[in-house]
Structure 1
């Protein structure tokens, strides 16, 4: 009996181990094969180690076959077998491999909703006041666009903006009718009273400036404005006249004007918040090499035109030059959009000394509820976040010479590859990302334009100033840092 129970325990243990076989093979195989390159310290031994490791992974399929096929791009440079550029050329160009790596990070972030968690957390911190809300959206969009493509960032952020705008633009309670309580009686409006009058053909709408009204003599006639009688009865042939609409025309006209003004403010708010997303995506993408396509094109062209450039343009050197420019450009863009679409009103837009309105509280509650639905961070989110931080740290530490500023003597003291022509190339690349005027200029502009809040004239009006601001910021950057 004891033998049978021991057998069951062993079988259950084997089943448990079989459930985790993939993880065991992935982590144990490199250590089991490690004596080969350690005992035989040659390039051939290192290459044999990589081949054996890939063979185990391919046979067991613990990793997707395509992922295993990419291991030489990492392990060959690590063991000194081949340079990274030579290995990557067997797959794609080195620049294209960098772009593919950035896309992989973007897919992982989007799959686990890490971008949504970051965006909602920032919006909860900054609040829903118009100016601060715009600042929050622009900051989050620019940060995500630094590591993810501009198009993907815009496509991920615009639905969040749309949800917040729906809460801010939803009608207030009791605002779904234009009729005042005095004009309603047993569910019948003033217009229905006119239609149901005993003499509908002779009912006359009287305006204050057409027929003078005399005051009734009796006191009870003063109790209701419906009992006012016109001096000249010849126009009505002695039949009753409804005047309740007349006395409310002024109030309803004022309400209509107020609603029109409020609708204009709502549309301006919608335009400002949608434009800020596409502008921030274009601006944020300039801060890193992987942020947008033109930056990667620059690195590829530099490698072809100047093969021995000493790695002048790398992640760290580009970040040291472009990140301050991005911050300056983003701040000026926020101030300009605030001036055009919101206005500078500290109490209304910043919330200084003001109480949140019902709509703002509803929008804040929506953001908080969406953040609550995400729940605690899962293992996948933590893994993606950890790998993302590791990736950024490796990018920065690969060549940390930017601490003393980007210059020729820092990156390559033997050859002067940084010249006025290099500066001109930097300017051209950055300006390629500052296309703000038309919907067809960039994919983020087209995505925002498709939501229907904006006209071409709106984008042109704000975009031309944004282009000028971009030129001034880049001019300042190339002459300062």
Structure 2
């Protein structure tokens, strides 16, 4: 039910953001052609290209193979199992949608938990309850304690998946919508920014922050749901129990059922690796990238979107089966790695329109002067240290995103924050980057983000469980962002000075 209401709300948000610019902006503000251009900006095409690759990975079940292989490696000790679930989920969420990752991981978690719980749940009750003895009471108390521990472990194991999905998506530029909103707003509001936010620069900043936050989240979830009993949760020096062996066999059996890697899977994996390598080496920042050497000195003809669309086109061209001269198959047409029918069905077009509508509204706010006016109202904040401003804004956005979609939250706040930064004379990235990350911190409510709704629908969790755990997760996230933006973030983005590209006085 929660997932259904979340779906209705996401449709409503997407529809509103998609249609509002067409209804309002052509009035006396922006001409219709300018409005339409906002829906297919470079950032939108980057998103579409990245999603095409993600759809191919899902279509060939490559993400499930990676997940099961890692879980076989880490084992089924409770602490390591939770670490394995979180690590796999976070990694996959960096490249494919958080919702798809969670929907794929939770059934695996469910199957493993069933095996871990079966041996205690099926313990035979030998003693008759007719005569209550001290031994009966002791056994019953132990059974209740075991059941409570099982419930807590189930809560922790399922909750760690949706949290890891939200955290992992922050690490890459295409991992979640707010990151792309930031890139689009930077290019629109500060066209001379020199591509300061690209795939490589964002990864260099956000990936260490993601690792730090994921580690702290893992420790926090262990403390809340499993305690710090190292002998039990880590299994130090202990022999595997029957239930742990059964759980491991479930993972191994699911991995065996996938069979060996097919020609199509190998091709998709190769294209995925090529995509990541080309993104990183296009314009690394500390050296000239391949775009500079192949095209021109400013590398302005090639963007991250160019790379994404290039790889996406290859998915529709390269065959999914080996060439006929390498196989014994009969001659006939070979289907490509990805067909348009599959892409059209699985691609979340609503998010693409949501991004476009957000950019169009931001353009209208910029042209009308609304963003500047709202930014000017925040000039009293110049009396507060910049780090304190960033913390206050992160708290505001982390609270706001519990009730609205993360893309809508970023779309609403980022233009205002950019104008505020210009008014008080601080680097716009100093507040825009932390607030972009905070828009993904939807940890407290089942309806805050689709991964939360998916996990909640399995029935292990109550709203109070998610709220109590999530409020600490928000605090952990904001503290990690504060550390990141004031340490390696300052060095990477030169945040101590007001950049020349931010000195925009007119449109």
Counterpart Cα distance in 1 of 2:55 and 2:94: 14
Query: Counterpart of 1:447?
Result: 454
Aligned to 1:466, which of 467, 470, 473?
A: 473
Give the direction of change, closer, same or farther, for the CA distance of 1:402–1:145 in structure 2 (3 Å limit).
farther
Contact 1:117 1:374 in 2 (8 A): yes
- Return the index of the structure with the highest Cα Rg: 1
Aligned to 1:93, which of 41, 45, 57?
A: 41
Equivalent runs, 1:261-410 vs 2, <5 Å: 261-401=145-285
What is the aligned residue count?
Answer: 321
1:434 and 2:441 matched? yes
Give the direction of change, closer, same or farther, for the CA distance of 1:455–1:89 in structure 2 (3 Å limit).
same
Aligned-pair CA distance for 1:160: 0.8
Aligned to 1:110, which of 16, 38, 58?
A: 58
1:291-312 deviation line (CA, Å, top 9, x unaligned) = 0000011111111101122111
Equivalent runs, 1:30-45 vs 2, <5 Å: none
Contact 1:146 1:285 in 2 (8 A): yes
Aligned-pair CA distance for 1:351: 1.2
Aligned-pair CA distance for 1:438: 1.1
Aligned to 1:143, which of 91, 95, 111?
A: 91
Q: Work out which structure has the larger RCO, using CA pairs closer than 8 Å and 6 or more positions apart in sequence.
A: 2
Counterpart Cα distance in 1 of 2:486 and 2:109: 37
TM (norm. structure 1) is 0.64
Give the direction of change, closer, same or farther, for the CA distance of 1:156–1:106 in structure 2 (3 Å limit).
same
Aligned-pair CA distance for 1:118: 0.7
Give the direction of change, closer, same or farther, for the CA distance of 1:174–1:139 in structure 2 (3 Å limit).
closer
Q: SS at 1:438's partner residue?
A: coil
Query: Counterpart of 1:420?
Result: 427
Aligned Cα RMSD in Å?
A: 2.4
Query: Counterpart of 2:348?
Result: none
1:161 and 2:109 matched? yes
Counterpart Cα distance in 2 of 1:457 and 1:473: 24
Aligned-pair CA distance for 1:420: 2.2
Question: Gapped runs of 5+ residues in structure 1?
Answer: 1-85, 181-189, 192-244, 405-410
Contact 1:320 1:402 in 2 (8 A): no
Q: SS at 1:147's partner residue?
A: coil
Counterpart Cα distance in 2 of 1:280 and 1:175: 34
Aligned-pair CA distance for 1:425: 0.4
Counterpart Cα distance in 2 of 1:172 and 1:475: 44
Q: Does 325-334 or 98-107 show the bigger shift?
A: 98-107
Aligned-pair CA distance for 1:250: 2.5
1:372-408 deviation line (CA, Å, top 9, x unaligned) = 111111111101100000000011011111579xxxx
Aligned-pair CA distance for 1:252: 2.3
Contact 1:317 1:402 in 2 (8 A): no
Give the direction of change, closer, same or farther, for the CA distance of 1:89–1:166 in structure 2 (3 Å limit).
same
Question: Gapped runs of 5+ residues in structure 2?
Answer: 1-33, 289-296, 299-421, 489-507
Q: SS at 1:400's partner residue?
A: coil
Counterpart Cα distance in 2 of 1:452 and 1:152: 19
Query: Counterpart of 2:390?
Result: none
Counterpart Cα distance in 2 of 1:265 and 1:274: 14
